[in-house]
Structure 1
Amino acid sequence: MTRTRMTAVDRAWLRMESTENPMMIGVVLVFDQPISLKRFRHLLEERFLRFRRFRQRVVQSGDRAWWQDDPYFSLDNHLHITGLPGKAGQNELQALASDLNSTPLNPQRPLWQIHFVENYGEGCALIVRIHHCIADGISLVRVLLALTDDEPDSNLYQLPTRPQQAPDRGKRLASASREMRNTADAGIQQLRVFARNVASKRGYPLQLLKTSGKIGMECLKLGLSPSDPDTRLKGSLSGRKLVAWANPMPLSDIKNTARALRGTVNDVLMSAATGAIHQYLHDQHEPPPDSGIRVAVPFNLRPLRQPVETLGNQFGLVLVPLPIDESCPRMRFHQVQENMNRLKRSWQAQVTYSLLDLFGRGPDMLERRAIQLLSSKASAVLTNVPGPKKPVYLAGARMSQPMFWVPQTGGIGIGLSIFTYADTVQFGIIVDRKLKVDPQRVIAAFNQSIADLQAAAGSPKTYPEVERRRAT
C-alpha cells in the first residue's frame, strides 16, 4: 500500500501528543444563516479532500512514521452532525468546543474531525479539529479558507474535483532519482555561490562567522534561560480543556491606537494580552512576578506565496518576554514593542525549527525531555494570525466569526489566540481546567487592557465587557 515518509518536524509534533495536551488545532466557525448539509458534504469532497493528507492515516514502526492511504476512508467517520439544546447561545457552544478539544482524535483514522452544529443562533457553526502533525496554523487557515468564496453564489466547481492520485512504482522511483539529482545540483550550486562570495567579498567569511556565532549564541541563551516563575498560570494539568472567545472588536480602533503609539497592530495586540494577564493576576490578588513571564509565539518560516497545496509544519517558536509586572499601559506597550523588535532580528525561530527537526529524528525519550525543558521556560502559547480582510462565504452562508486555538506543548496549559478577520479582531483562550483560570475573566481583562491602551493613546473606546467589569 502506498505510503509517504513523514518529515522529521511533523513527526516531532506527532510525538508531542500526551494525555494532558492533545496536539490538535481547534477551530470554531460561526455562520449567520443555516448551511445545507448536502451542499456542505459536496464542498468537503470537492475542496477539502483534494488534499490527499486528509485521506491518510499515520502508521508507525519503531522510530519511523509514514502517511498511508486509509483503505476504509469514509467521510462519515469524520463529519458528525450535532445540535445544541433549545435556544442555546455562545456559552453552550463554548461548552461543546471545550469537550471536543479535551478528546483526542482516533489514531487509527486520518487525524481530523468536523462537527456540524445545526442550530446555533440564526445560523449554524462548525467545530473543526485537525492534528498539528498534518500542518501548521498558517497552512491550515489557508486550507479552511479554500472552502470559502468571496461571494455567496460562487461556483462550487472551480477547484479540481478529485484528489491527486498516488504515483505508480515507476513514477515514484523516477521522482526519487530526480530529487536526488536536484539535491546534488543544489549542493554544488551552493558551493559555487560560496566560492564566488569568498572571491568577490572580502568580508564574507567574517560575516558568515558572525552569523554562525549569533546562531550558536541563540542556542546557548535558549538552553541557559531560567524557567518561568510560578504563577497560577502554571501547574499540573488534567487534559480537560475550557475554551472561550470574546465578541469581535473593530480593527480600525486597534489601528488608530497603533498609529497614535507609533507602533504596529501586532504591538498593540501583544501589549493587550500582556495587560490582560497583569489585570487577571491583580484581580486574583496575586502579585505579578517582577521578572515578568514568557510566552511561546509561533514564527512563520513559510514563504507567503507558497501554494496552499503545500502542507506540513514550517515555523519556529520564539520566547517573547511579557512585562506583566508593569502597571502603566504605555510603558507595557513600549517594552513589548522593544522585545518584539529584538526577537525579529534574532535567529531564535530558525534555531527552534532546527531543534524540532533534530528531535523528530532522535529517540522519543530525548524529544520528551527536551520539550519538558523548553516548555518550562514559558507560561503560555500566544498566536496572532491574520485572516481575510473581507467577509467570506461557505456554501452560501456568511462567516460571521472565526476562532481557533493551537495546542500547548509539554507542561504549558494556556493558549491565547488572536485572529483578524473582515476588519475585526477576534480573541480567544483555551486553558486546562485544573489550573483554575477563569477564561471569561481573562477575556474581560483583555477588553479592559485594549480600552486602557486606547485611553493612553488619547482615543478611548469602550466595549460591553469593559462596562460590565466596571459596574462590578
Structure 2
Amino acid sequence: MIERMSKVDTAWLRMDTESNLMMIVGVWTIRPRITLAQLRERVEARLLQYTRFRQKVVEDALGAQWVEDEDFQISRHVVQEVLLPMRGQSQLETLKERVGELAAQPLDPNHPLWQFQIIEDLDGASYLIARIHHCIADGIALISVMLSITDGGKAPPKRQQQPRDDQDWLTDTVLKPFSDMTVKAIGLAGAGAGKSIATMINPPHPLDSSVEMARMGYQAVSDVAAFALMPDDSHTRLKGKPGASKRVAWDNGLPLDEVKAVSKALNTSINDVLLACVAGAIGAYLRDKGDDPSGQEIRAMVPVNLRPLEKAYQLGNRFGLVPLVLPIGIANPVERLYAVRARMQELKGSFQPIMAFGLLSVAGLLIKPVQHAMLNIFAKKATAVMTNVPGPAQALKFCGSEVERVMFWVPQSGDIGMGVSILTYAGKVQFGLITDSGLCPDPEAIIERFAPEFEKLLWLALMLPWGEDAV
C-alpha cells in the first residue's frame, strides 16, 4: 500500500539539517530489567500494528510517499546498546553522553524512520532509548503510541488509522462545528480563538456572525503582521549557529502536588509556575557564566495541540506554534512568575497556532532551500523550542516491569540550539534539556537550577497566611 505524505509531515521530513535532525528522542527507565528478546516481542505484537512503523519514505517530485518496506527486519530497528564508561565517568554520565550522540545520528532513510536501543542492565534497570522521526507523528500522537505498547495497552484497528490530509483536517477543524475537545485544544494557546471560531460557525444571531467574522479577520491579520514584524530574539550565549554535536540532561523531577499547591497559593496556573522556573534557571545560568541578563527576554517556540486527543492515534503532525517570551532577566521569583502569567494572557485569542500550521503546510510544497529559508524565520525569533506534555498519572508497566521514569527531548528547527521538555508522569514533573555542544556544553548546569528556582516559590507560598481568615 502506497500513501501520499501530508504537506505538513513533508515539511518535517525536509527540515533535517546537519545541525538539527527532526527526531523525537525519549528514554524510559524500566525496573526490574527486561531483555532484548522481550522488547522485540512486544514491539512486533503492538507497535507494528501501526502500519506507519513498517513503511519507509520515498521522496518524489510532488513531495513524499509512505511505502511498505519489503526488507523490514525487527533486528534493524530494535537493537542492543552496550555502554562502556570512560575512566572516571559514571554509568549515568555515559548514558547521557550516548543519548546526545544518538540525537545527532541520522536514521537510515532506506527503512522506516525509527529505532529503539535497549541497555539491558544498568544498576538493575533497563534503559530504552527511542528515536522516531517527526514526520511520523508529533509528541502528543507518540504518547498515544507509547501507551499502546505498555502492559494493557492496545493499538487501534488498522481501519481507524487512515491518514487525513491537511485539507481534511482544516475542514474538520475550521469549517465544521467545533467539538468541546477541539475548542479546548486550541484554547491551550488562547480560549478566545477557539470560542470565536466556534461562535462564527454557529452564531446565536446573524448580526453576531458579522461582528465576530470582522473581529476574527482583524485578529488574524494582526497576528500575521505581529509575527512578521517581531524583532529577532535577544542575543545571548545560547543563541548562535549550532554545530552537529548534542548534549542532553534531565533532573530527578518535582512533586506534582507541590507544584499544584504553589500555583493555587500564588493564584497562577501550573504552567506559569513551571515556565517561571525555566526562565529563572536560564537566567541564573547566564549570571554564573559572567553574563548580565538583566532586562533581557528570550522566546521559546511552544507547540500547541490542534486536534482532539482521542484522535492522536491517527499519527501525523497536528499542532501549531506560538512564541512565548521568557523573562530571564527578572531575578525576583514572584515578579518573574507574574510576568510569565501576563505573557500567557497575551496569547489568549491568538491565531498564531493555526497560522503556523498553515505556514508548515505551504513549506511542505516548497523546494528545500526555500523551505529552510522560510523556516529560519522561526529560528531568528526564538532561542529555544519548549514543550509541556501531560503524561499518565500512574506509573506504567512494560513487560511486567515498572516504567520508573519517562523522559523525552524535542528537536530544534533551523538554527535553534536548545530544546526544553517538561513531562508530567506518575506524580512528578520532569525537566529535560537538549543543547548544542558549542552553544551550551553543560546543560546539566541549567537543569540543576530548576529545583532551587521552584523551592524559592514554594517557600514564599508557605509564608502566605493559612486558614479561613487568610486574605
Coarse TM-score class (shorter-chain normalised): 0.7 to 0.9
Residue 364 (structure 2) pairs with residue 388 (structure 1): no
1:387 and 1:421 in contact (8 A); partners too: yes
Pairwise CA distance, 1:89: 3.0
Asked if the contact 1:419–1:425 (Cα under 8 Å) also holds between the matched residues in 2, the reply is yes
Matches within 5 A, 1:21-100: 21-85=20-84, 89-100=91-102
- Equivalents in 1 of 2:111, 2:266: separation in Å? 50
SS in 2 for 1:243: strand
Single out whichever of 81-90 and 282-291 deviates more from structure 2.
81-90
- Change beyond 3 A, Cα 1:166–1:453: closer
**Residues in 1 aligned to 2:8 and 2:177: alpha-carbon distance in whole angstroms:** 26
TM superposition shift of 1:280:
0.6
Matched, 1:377 2:372: no
- Matched to 1:256, the amino acid is A
Partner of 1:309: 313
Q: Which residue of 2 aligns with 1:229?
A: 234
Match of 1:115 in 2: 117
Question: Residue 83 of structure 2 aligns to a residue in which SS?
Answer: coil
1:253 aligned partner: 258
Say whether 1:243 aligns with 2:248. Answer: yes
Match of 1:361 in 2: 365
1:134 equivalent in structure 2: 136
Deviation at 1:36, TM superposition (A): 3.4
Please tell me the residue identity of whatever aligns with 1:22: L
- Structure 2: which amino acid aligns with 1:281? L
Counterpart of 1:280, as a letter, is Y
Larger CA deviation: 224-233 vs 431-440: 431-440
Counterparts of 1:437 and 1:258, CA distance in 2: 32
Cα distance in 2 for partners of 1:267, 1:187 equals 32
Q: Which residue of 2 aligns with 1:145?
A: 147
Q: Which residue of 2 aligns with 1:267?
A: 272
Q: Which has the larger Rg?
A: 1
Q: 1:188–1:233: structure 2 CA closer, same or farther, 3 Å change rule?
A: closer
Does the CA contact (< 8 Å) of 2:200 and 2:212 recur in 1?
no
Task: State the TM-score, normalizing by the size of structure 1.
Answer: 0.87
Q: Which residue of 2 aligns with 1:454?
A: 458
Q: Check the 8 A contact 2:160/2:314 in 1, yes or no.
A: no
| Percent identity of paired positions between Structure 1 and Structure 2 | 37
For the Cα contact (< 8 Å) 1:244–1:430, is it kept in 2? yes
8 Å Cα contact 1:414/1:429 also seen in 2: yes
Alignment partners' CA distance in 2, 1:130 and 1:195: 38
Distance 1:166 1:350 in 2: 24
State the shift of 1:202 in Å: 1.6
2:322–2:353 CA contact under 8 A, matched in 1: yes
The 1:128–1:455 alpha-carbon spacing in structure 2 relative to 1, beyond 3 Å, is same
* 1:164-313 mapped onto 2 (5 Å cutoff): 200-288=205-293, 290-306=295-311, 308-313=312-317
Change (3 A) 1:270 1:159: closer
Alpha-carbon distance in 1 for matches of 2:147, 2:124: 22
User: Are the aligned partners of 1:84 and 1:119 in contact in 2 as well (CA < 8 Å)?
Assistant: no
Aligned to 1:468: none
**Contact 2:63/2:364 (<8 A) preserved:** no
Query: What aligned pairs does 1:393-404 form with structure 2 within 5 A after superposition?
Result: 393-404=397-408
* Unmatched runs of 5 consecutive residues or more in structure 2: 179-197, 465-471
- The 1-side partners of 2:175 and 2:251 are apart by 50
Contact 2:10 2:135 in 1 (8 A): yes
Distance 2:348 2:111 in 1: 39
The one-letter code of the counterpart of 1:319 is: P
Q: Are positions 1:408 and 2:412 aligned together?
A: yes
Which residue identity does 1:113 align to in structure 2?
Q
> How do 1:429-440 residues align onto structure 2 when only pairs under 5 Å count?
429-440=433-444
Change (3 A) 1:159 1:444: closer
Shift of 1:139: 0.5
Give the secondary structure class of the aligned counterpart of 2:364: helix
The alpha carbon displacement at 1:206 in A equals: 2.3
Relative distance call for 1:243 and 1:187 in structure 2 (3 A) is closer
Counterpart code for 1:363? I
Point out the more displaced range, 330-339 or 88-97. Answer: 88-97
Residue 99 of structure 1 deviates from its aligned partner by: 1.1
- One-letter amino acid matched to 2:385: V
CA deviations on 1:60-90 (whole Å, 9 max, x unpaired) are: 1124111111111111111111222479532
Distance 1:166 1:353 in 2: 21
TM-superposition CA deviations, 1:95-122 (whole Å, max 9, x none): 1111111101111110000001111121
Give distance in 2, aligned partners of 1:416 and 1:187: 34
Q: Which amino acid aligns with 1:277?
A: I
Q: Secondary structure at the match of 1:135?
A: coil
